[in-house]
Amino acid sequence: MNVDKKGFQEDLTFRMARRLHLPMEAIRPDVPFDQFGLDSLTVVSLVAEIEEELGLEIDPSWLYEFRTLESLSERLFATGGAVA
């Protein structure tokens, strides 16, 4: 299935909100991950979920290199926007 960049970011926002038990509206794409209190276990489980459900291969360090949902989703979209 192909998704556009906005749809891809919305999907990641949904997954992150679900992991953090927050409403989607509380997840702003320009806010750094550390401000949401993401711990390493949450990062690893979020990466595993994205890999499994979207068929992407993700380096977990990307969540530290690309420090916002916006920058991470842009990176993921650029490297694998066509999801399986």
- pLDDT tens digits, 1-34: 456 778 888 988 998 999 899 999 999 999 998 8
Domain range enclosing 75: 5-80
C-alpha angle 56-62-65 in degrees, rounded to nearest 5: 160
DSSP 8-class letter at 82: B
What CA dihedral angle connects 83, 6, 26 and 40, to 10 degrees?
Answer: 40
Are the CB atoms for 71 and 62 separated by under 8 Å? no
**What's residue 3's pLDDT?**
64
Task: Encode pLDDT of 35-83 as tens digits.
Answer: 988 877 887 888 888 888 878 788 878 877 888 889 988 888 887 643 3
Number of separate domains in the chain:
1
- CA separation for the pair 82, 66 (Å, rounded): 20
CATH code of 72's domain = 1.10.1200.10
Query: What are the helix and strand counts (H, E) for the chain?
Result: 4, 0
**What's residue 22's pLDDT?**
93
**What's residue 31's pLDDT?**
93
